[in-house]
A and B are shown apart, each in its own frame.
Chain A
Amino acid sequence: MKALTFAVRNSKEILREPLNLALGIGFPVVVLLLLSMIQANIPVELFAIDNLIPGIAVFGLAFISTFSGMLIATDRGTSFLMRLFTTPLTASDYIMGYTLPLLPMAVLQIVISYIAAFFLGLAINLNVLVSIVVLIPAAIMFIGFGLLAGSIFNEKMVGNICGAVLTNLTAWLSGAWFDLDLVGGWFEGVAYLLPFAHAVDASRAAISGDYASILPHLWWVIGYAIVIMIIAIIVFRKKMSSDQ
């Protein structure tokens, strides 16, 4: 109950920042529209809507990390978190309170991107639903990135790291904007050691109905999500006690 109270507060803090809504929901949809316009004029297979939407959805999730990281960093910076540490809230209340509100937001963000994709010609079928579900581990992973960044860095640095570095990493190494096979070599190797391209490929496999190809990619994402979340929780707890 206490965790829920705290989670509701965190939801309000995030949703009441107009920039969050503009970046989190508006920006991925704008990118989707722009790339679809390019596709309409110069047909490129990569920018076909069923190829494009998983990449856009994963790219959009990077903003969820920024929301989560900024909120925690701000709470630390303003001593709000210190005030809460003197209350009967427990460590698990904080972690649940900071992570739970982000999951429905991430799902909502994905769904809005997919709804925009429907208007651009994405077929409405069961595969689309599976494709959305497949992105949930990626959403948890990005929430973990935010928790980790917010626990370590101040507000400005979280903005730089999550807002710039992570979004760029996601954009460049996910295969959302260009075919990683075309670059090949070490670049492709590095990209497939990271989770972003796997998240996109798993979702693309789902949308194309190639269910057998989902799990090999999804395991990478699930693995990263678990590891990042565990590290984030350990660092959060450790960093908070040292901040005090």
Chain B
Amino acid sequence: MIAIETTKLTKKFQTKTAVNSLNLSIKQGELFALLGVNGAGKTTTIKMLTCLISPTSGDAALHGHSIISNPHGVKEKINVSPQETAVARNLSVKENLELIARIYGFDKKATAIKVKEMMTTFSLTEVSKDKAKTLSGGMQRRLSIAMALITDPKILFLDEPTQGLDVISRRELWTVIEKLKGKITIILTTHYMEEAEALSDRIGIMSAGKLKATGTVSELMRKSNTKTLEEAFVSLATKEEVEY
């Protein structure tokens, strides 16, 4: 089953085209990494798919719901862990999780069950009463992802989830993300090659608003006739013509 299907998805900001006629298809349960340098259009793509901004033209369907004609339907199927650690700073870990569950309409009983489940899954039980602002960067990211997952989304967007984290925190977060693979569809944006390589089923390479290539790591290396993902990325991202 197709989880996400974009059709000529385009976003222009005045004279700049941030995303240019993006055609992309992502299967349910797939972990798809969008790889690109800063300004490649990854975050703009995520913002369109999460209904934060409207496309200039084109459309996308998430589990059959159009981001243009049915954004409410889309919002009920997805959740997001934004690039910055978006947690309520003066709320405890438990309260942050409860807040999101309640906003999505969970009753008290269901909220309590989901909060307990998330705290166990993300090893947050010991810090459940700690205020979010007192947590380490890695723990805050973990909480951020738990907040995104507590609503049982069909599609999870992780926008540069390990940006700014130290090596150990990054590896811990990779372990968390790996455990989610296959259970839900995950769209991960990153500019870390090793992260895309370690976690993703398929990778899409974006450059200057265009999707330059998609495929598994080995497919991308074969397409670009290179031996590493980094070489493949450089080759495909700088290539003039678009190849899918």
Which A residues are closer than 8 A to B by beta carbons?
1-2, 5-6, 9, 12-13, 16-17, 74, 78-80, 82-89, 244
Contacts and interface: CB of A to CB of B under 8 A. Distances in A.
Nearest to A13: B90
A82 B86 CA distance: 8
A5 B103 CA distance: 7
| Residue of A12, A79, A86 with most chain B CB atoms under a 10 A cut-off | A86
Contacts, number: 69
B104 interface: yes
Task: Name the 9 nearest CB pairs between A and B, nearest first.
Answer: A79-B84, A83-B86, A16-B90, A79-B86, A5-B102, A244-B52, A79-B82, A80-B86, A86-B80
Contact of A6 (B53, B75, B103, B105): B103
A87 B103 contact: yes
Contacts of A79: 82-86
Nearest to B85: A78
Interface string B62-93: 00000000001001101111111111111100
B149 to A, nearest CB: 13
| Residue of B50, B75, B82 with most chain A CB atoms under a 10 A cut-off | B82
B82 A82 contact: yes
Nearest to A4: B102
Contacts of A87: 75, 100, 103-104
Contact of B87 (A6, A80, A85): A80
B99 interface: yes
Given A79-B82, A244-B52, A244-B53, 14 more contacts: A2-B102, A9-B88, A9-B99, A12-B91, A16-B90, A80-B86, A80-B87, A83-B80, A83-B81, A86-B78, A86-B80, A87-B104, A88-B72, A89-B103
Given A12-B91, A78-B85, A80-B88, A88 B103 contact: yes
Interface in B76-126: 76, 78-91, 95, 99-100, 102-105
A82 B75 contact: no
B82 A83 contact: yes
Interface in B13-61: 47, 50-53
A232 to B, nearest CB: 22
A83 B52 CA distance: 9
Given A88-B103, A88-B104, A244-B47, A13 B88 contact: yes
| Residue of B81, B85, B89 with most chain A CB atoms under a 10 A cut-off | B89
Contacts of B104: 87-88
A76 to B, nearest CB: 11
A78 B96 CA distance: 14
Contacts of A16: 90, 131
A5 B104 CA distance: 10
26 contacts: A1-B102, A5-B99, A5-B103, A12-B91, A12-B95, A13-B91, A16-B131, A78-B86, A78-B87, A79-B83, A79-B84, A79-B85, A82-B52, A82-B86, A83-B86, A83-B147, A84-B103, A85-B52, A86-B50, A86-B51, A86-B80, A88-B75, A88-B103, A88-B105, A89-B103, A244-B47
Contacts of B47: 244
A82 B43 CA distance: 12
B32 to A, nearest CB: 18
A86 B79 contact: yes
A9 B47 CA distance: 25
A83 B72 CA distance: 15
Interface string B193-218: 00000000000000000000000000
Nearest to A242: B53
Contacts of A89: 103
B19 to A, nearest CB: 14
